[in-house]
Amino acid sequence: MRIWHQSFTVLDDVPHYRDALSRHLKGAARPGTTVELHGMAAGTYPGSYPGVHIGHLYLTNLHREQFVKAALRAEAEGYDAFFIATIPDTGYEEIRTLVDIPVVAFGNASVAFAATVGSRVGIVNFIGELEPQLRRNMQAYGFGDVVGPIVQVEAGFTDVMGAYADPGPLVAAFERAAREAIRLGANVIVPGEGPLNVFLADQGISRVDDVPVIDSLGTGLALAETRAVFHRRSGLYPPRTGLYFTRPDAELLAAARAFYYGGAE
């Protein structure tokens, strides 16, 4: 089984994260599953990092095209599932209308699974600007009443990237934020953003006090594998009705993409 993992990060720009991500997903994968890491194109974030772009709706929507292009390529190349490995689930609604292979998204999958473990999901992340998008997504998924507090860790992207050399401060910052989410009613924690999730998994953190911490990326991978199995067995794929699921005609899609993106495949 081959799973296409799509990050919002230019992975070669952050080798500590890339290597930790590779270790984590290899360890989480079932026997016989290959997870192939893909990041954004080099130069996507000149002079800044993904966390700056991800906090602006228009920039996020521009970058979404890289996810769409990747998903179309993944289906054409015979991958068994496409994993959107970023908590705002960039391109999720659009992509699942374009391909029949399973499409699994970090935020959707991790919160859905967390709701089977606890009754009130707290999200702990480090990009505060994402909260409105996360709230909107969860409402659209039907999880609006399940997700409770969203609390930010007192750290930024560079702090997370640098924490592999000195993990103590980030661990302490995460635990403070998680305890605040717990104080506000959460009884299961989803770590937001892939870099924070991978760091916590690398440190073996699965609980804060007596509250579980979900491995969001591991959960998304497990769902991608399960969906791929059912797709093989029965041809299971999403509905093909209504605005959010109907698949456009292939020629119509190709013509529109050629107009806007110069024939991008």
Q: What is the mean pLDDT of the chain?
A: 94
Residues 108-134 pLDDT 10s: 999 999 999 999 999 999 999 999 999
Burial of 42 (0-12, 13-18, 19+ CB in 10 A): exposed
- Burial letters 103-139, b for 16+ CB under 10 A, else e: bbbbbbbbbbbbbeebebbbbbbbbeebeebbeebbe
Domain borders along the chain are 2-261
Res. 49 pLDDT band, cuts 50 70 90: confident
pLDDT at 50: 83
Domain 2-261: CATH architecture, name and number where available: 3-Layer(aba) Sandwich (3.40)
Backbone dihedral angles phi then psi of residue 151, each to the nearest 5 degrees = -120, 140
Give the whole-number percent of the chain exceeding pLDDT 90. 86
Asked if pLDDT for residue 264 goes beyond 80, the answer is no
pTM for the complete prediction?
0.95
Mean pLDDT of 194-206: 94
